[in-house]
Amino acid sequence: MAARLGTRRQHLPLLKRRGVLLLKLMAVTFAALLFCEFLIYYVVIFRCNWPEVKPPADSDGGQEAPEPVLRAMFLADTHLLGALRGHWLDKLRREWQMERAFQTALWLLQPEVAFILGDVFDEGKWSSPQAWADDVGRFRRMFRHPPRVQLRAVAGNHDVSFHYQMNTYKIKRFERVFNPERLFSWKGINFVMANSMALEGDGCAICSGEEAELMEISRRLNCSREHFPLYRQSDSNCSGEDTAPPGEKDVPFRERYDVLSREASQKLLWWFRPRLVLSGHTHSACEVLHGAGVLEVSVPSFSWRNRNNPSFIMGSLTPTEYALAKCYLPCEDTVLITYCVAAGALVLLTLVHVGLLTSPLRFGWNLLRKFKTT
């Protein structure tokens, strides 16, 4: 009996050390997951600030009440994967990242309206009714928003197909989920949301209807949002850390595929004479001046599946002025490096526990004692 009690007492320190090791491993793992999957979005997006709108040039600085400012988020190309493409783990990972980024931005930045500039879904052009319903359900969960926030979306080629595959069924299906109105007005600011795939100019029924609707709106409005960029030869003149990679910048764009045709671009600029154009589709950033100094901003993809450094545009808009700023999301590389460091810490703790490596604290203490005795 005494021998058995002695054996148990000998095992107690070993069990205690193993318990301490397990707690350390769990603490490091939990800290890494908490930071990489939750806190990092707050740390990064907290640094973003709404740009300030300059007073009109003809303002005399008097006692006139300032114009109301509309705070709008612009994101593009979320490409929610469907039932056909992508591994389930890839889908789960990308959707979690976009959900956390969007929800964190809503909480920290408090926008009044959010625009998605096309390609909301990746497989909308192929989806069966059941697959479409599943994709819409996941979208509504990821991009849920309080009633005070408006959410508007423009159809992209992955939502309703390119011109030659587009049909009324796909367009109506998209519009049942997202408000079909081409015109959206708030605080005296007018937004026109154009179906770029219907601006082919070949007289098809869908194209004729789209052009007629836009022409009617153009008689009174002056601002445009769309999916395809207006015509430009390439991204060769674009600059910034989130532009297209060097090997893609000089590749000529194809009209009606990568960008709108010259004719459709000229029509939109003539009809609306916009102050600002924002577009998606290319997954990369670019700023282009058209005509009489009309700025077009191509918004990069919001999905980590398309970019290592996704971002969105923050716009402060009034009826006469606007100011834009870019808000970057966490880089994929940062998350991967953090996980690698955490994995290294787990290995280090395990090696110290089994005696294959001296504890860094003990090693430092011994080194300090040796230094004092010399």
The pLDDT of residue 191 is above 80:
yes
pLDDT at 233: 81
Are residues 108 and 73 in contact, defined by beta-carbon separation less than 8 angstroms?
no
**76 in helix, strand or coil?**
strand
Counts for the chain of helices (H) and strands (E), in that order: 11, 11
Say how far apart CA 135 and CA 128 lie, in whole Å: 10
The DSSP code sequence of 103-140 is HHHHHHH--SEEEEES--BSSTTT--HHHHHHHHHHHH
**What is the pLDDT of the chain when averaged over all its residues?**
85
| DSSP tag of 301 | B
In the prediction, which pLDDT does 102 show? 98
pLDDT in tens, 246-284: 778 778 888 777 778 888 888 788 778 888 999 999 999
Q: Rounded to an integer, what distance in angstroms lies between the CA atom of residue 337 and that of residue 327?
A: 22
10 vs 144, residue with greater confidence: 144
pLDDT the model gives residue 201: 75
Q: What is the mean pLDDT of residues 181-206?
A: 85
Report pLDDT for 52: 94
**330 sits in which H/E element:** none
Using the Cα atoms of residue 166, residue 168, residue 174 and residue 175 in order, give the sign of their dihedral.
Answer: positive
Residue corresponding to tokens 């600029």: 269
Judged against a pLDDT cut of 70, whether residue 288 lies above it is answered with yes
pLDDT in tens, 49-98: 999 998 766 655 555 677 889 999 999 999 999 888 878 888 889 999 99
Asked whether residue 363 carries a pLDDT value surpassing 50, the answer given is: yes
More confident residue, 120 or 357: 120
The rounded distance, in Å, linking the Cα atoms of 365 and 374 is 15
Q: What is the pLDDT of residue 255?
A: 77
Element (H, E) at 315: strand 311-317
Instruction: Concatenate the DSSP letters of all residues of 230-260 into one string.
Output: PP-S-STT--STTS--HHHHTSPPPBTTTB-
pLDDT in tens, 91-139: 889 999 999 999 999 999 999 999 999 999 999 889 999 999 999 999 9
Does residue 141 surpass a pLDDT of 80? yes
pLDDT tens, 9-53?
A: 555 566 677 778 889 889 999 999 999 999 999 999 999 999 999
**Per-residue pLDDT tens for 194-225?**
888 888 777 788 888 888 888 888 766 555 55
Start-end of H helices in 161-204 = 168-177
**Ranges 142-146, 150-154, 189-193, 322-326: which has the least confidence:** 189-193
Question: Cα-flanking dihedrals φ and ψ of residue 290, to 5°?
Answer: -115, 150
Overall average pLDDT of the 143-150 stretch = 96
For 289-301, what is the mean pLDDT? 89
Q: Which of 148-157, 198-207, 240-249 has the highest mean pLDDT?
A: 148-157
Helix axes 332-353, 2-34, angle to 10 degrees: 170
298, pLDDT greater than 90:
yes
Looking at residue 252, its pLDDT comes to: 84
Tell me the two tokens of residue 154.
């423009």
Reported as type and span, the H/E element at residue 20 is helix 2-34
Report which DSSP code applies to 80: B
Please tell me the predicted confidence (pLDDT) of residue 5. Answer: 46
pLDDT at 178 over 70: yes
